[in-house]
Amino acid sequence: MAKKNILVIEDNHAILDVITLILESEAFNVAGLNKGADFIEHVHEFKPNVIIMDIMLPDIDGRVLLKELKENESTKHIPALMISARYNSTNYMLDGVEADDFMAKPFNIDELMDKIYALLKKSES
């Protein structure tokens, strides 16, 4: 089976590094961004199977990126897992745009992996 690509957008470098190390140890190809600039271009270049996206980014609100992802015909199929320290609701509807899943920070690594595998399975069916 080919390695799956996961794009992580997280402005906290320590969290981004930890997520990247964990995902790479699970044999995923990982690309990390610490801001939302050129988001869709990165998506088109990297072709992620799942996107993990922080809501609060330094240059743009993650909800704007989610909306851009889900309204673009060529990217709307890519599952997005939203993460946030500010929001702790399990409501995936963020300003009218539905995320595929949501996690509040701090999060449990096992739960993160469970959610990623579930999103991968869902996207393949």
Residue 95, pLDDT score: 59
Q: What is the mean pLDDT of residues 44-56?
A: 94
pLDDT one-digit tens code per residue, 83-109: 988 766 555 555 556 889 988 888 899
pTM strictly above 0.85: yes
The CATH number, out of the four listed (3.40.50.2300, 3.40.50.620, 3.40.50.2000, 3.40.50.720), of the domain defined by the range 5-124: 3.40.50.2300
> For all residues of the chain together, what is the average pLDDT?
89
Burial of residue 87 (CB within 10 Å: 0-12, 13-18, 19+) is middle
For the chain, what are the domain ranges? Answer: 5-124
pLDDT beyond 80 at 6: yes
